[in-house]
Amino acid sequence: MAANYDFRRVRAIFDGDGSEIREQFIFSGLLLAIFERFKEYVVKQVDDFFANRWELRDGDLKCIRGEEFKKLIKEKGVGAKGQHTNKEFRAALHWFYGLGAITQDELNGIERLYELRKRLPTE
């Protein structure tokens, strides 16, 4: 019975004028873009905090990754088998968790979002 309900919902989407599918693609694209910016932001905040020094490269100010962040990446960056391999992001999240800026539930939720995100097609 539940399977029939699921197919009815899918069939209803395809039988429409395409506006529902278009809307879902727009929302999916926005979610992906927001999450990618979030990952960059989180890593940059920790990278900047622990920076050893700053250099001017091609007109942009770039931080040189500090030893403390490198150490944090080695300690906290490796996830469980099957999890994403973005060590910098995971280490940065654990740093924020260690400070009490995010809860364990929020940390777990972000990890779940990352897993969902990496399963989406990129093309």
> Is the alpha carbon torsion for 85, 96, 38, 19 positive or negative?
positive
β-partners of residue 54 are 63
pLDDT band, very low/low/confident/very high, at 123 (cuts 50, 70, 90): very low
Q: Which neighbouring-strand residues pair with 61?
A: 56
> What pLDDT, on the 0 to 100 scale, is given for residue 22?
81
Residue 54: CB atoms within 10 A of its CB come to: 11
Q: Looking at 17-21, 38-42, 64-68, 110-114, which range is the least confident one?
A: 17-21
Residue 9 has pLDDT above 80, yes or no: no
Angle at 85 between CA 84 and CA 86, to 5 degrees: 100
pLDDT of residue 105 exceeding 70: yes
**pTM for the predicted model, two decimal places:** 0.74
**Model pLDDT, residue 24:** 81
Helix (H) or strand (E) holding 82: none
Across 83-121, b (16+ Cβ under 10 Å) vs e yields eeebbbbbbbbbbbbeeeebeeeeeeebbeebeeeeeee
What number is the average pLDDT over the span 54-59? 88
- For residue 14, pLDDT beyond 90: no
